[in-house]
Amino acid sequence: MAAIIAAAMMSAIGAASTFHALGVNDDLRPWLTIGCSILAAIFVGGWHRVSRLLELFPGR
């Protein structure tokens, strides 16, 4: 789980700085950053582990 969280955080940091440098619209930047972090977590840990991790968030 730690590797999944670390991969998601590192990709979010990288995506946020890249999107800012590319001039992506401010309205899209948070959504694209979240999408990149979830995608990185799925690549590292697989969908089954990520779905178990997402159950910890409220509203599910």
Q: For the segment 2-60, what is each residue's pLDDT rounded down to a tens digit?
A: 888 899 999 999 999 999 899 999 999 999 999 999 999 999 999 998 888 878 888 75
Locate 38 and state its tokens.
């979830």
CA distance 33 to 14: 9
Q: What is the pLDDT of residue 57?
A: 80
**How many structural domains comprise the chain?**
1
- Residue 60, in any domain of the structure: no
- Residue 59, in any domain of the structure: no
Q: What is the pLDDT of residue 28?
A: 92
CA distance 58 to 20: 29
- Residue 16, in any domain of the structure: yes
The pTM of the full predicted model, rounded to 2 decimals, is 0.77
Q: What is the pLDDT of residue 32?
A: 93
Q: What is the pLDDT of residue 60?
A: 57
C-alpha distance from residue 32 to each of 1, 2, 47, 49 (Å): 22, 22, 19, 22
